[in-house]
């Protein structure tokens, strides 16, 4: 708590920062504390529209529609990507080398995207700013 309040100095601060590197759970706890601190100082009074926003977050039609929309979009994108790879693989007008290169590029981008997403998901618990609304 002292570290989160900026009240740790010198050797004690250095020792705590070393512990943060070695203990991810401690770092996540600190991030939660910092997030509370940040939200508390930036909390704005509720506006009339906020009540409707909060109601919509629990509205069944809204949640079902959004969920279904995302599932359809993601499924369609993945299937289209698969279809593109399949079409390239079967396209006799392209040389084998071109087909291999194009498919490699698609899988390469997919792998890069996957690793970037993995990085983001790993770092997300330690980002205290995601709870800020406005």
State yes or no: residue 54 binds another protein (CB under 8 A). Answer: no
DSSP 26-85: HHHHHHHHHHHHHHHHH--PPPHHHHHHHHHHH-HHHHHHHHHHHHHHHHHHHHHHHHHH
Using the minimum distance from each CB to another protein, give the nearer residue, 74 or 89.
Answer: 74
- Total number of residues that touch another protein (CB under 8 A): 16
Using the minimum distance from each CB to another protein, give the nearer residue, 49 or 61.
Answer: 49
Burial (CB count within 10 angstroms: exposed 0-12, middle 13-18, buried 19+), residue 90: exposed
Work out how close the CB of 98 gets to another protein at its nearest, in angstroms, rounded to a whole number. 29
Subset of residues 22 to 41 that bind another protein, contact rule: CB under 8 A: 38, 41
Residues that bind another protein in the complex, under the rule CB under 8 A: 5-7, 38, 41-42, 49, 53, 70, 73, 120, 129-130, 132-134
């Amino acid at each position: 708590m002292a570290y989160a309040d900026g009240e740790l100095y010198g050797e004690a601060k250095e020792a705590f920062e070393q512990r943060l590197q070695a203990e991810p759970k401690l770092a996540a706890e600190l991030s939660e504390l910092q997030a509370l601190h940040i939200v508390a100082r930036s909390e704005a009074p509720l506006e009339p529209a906020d009540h409707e926003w909060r109601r919509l977050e629990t509205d069944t039609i809204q949640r079902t529609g959004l969920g279904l929309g995302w599932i359809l979009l993601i499924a369609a994108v993945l299937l289209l990507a698969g279809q593109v790879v399949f079409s390239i693989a079967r396209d006799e007008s392209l040389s084998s080398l071109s087909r291999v290169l194009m498919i490699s590029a698609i899988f390469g981008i997919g792998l890069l995207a996957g690793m970037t997403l993995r990085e983001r998901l790993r770092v997300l618990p330690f980002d205290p700013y995601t709870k800020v609304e406005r």
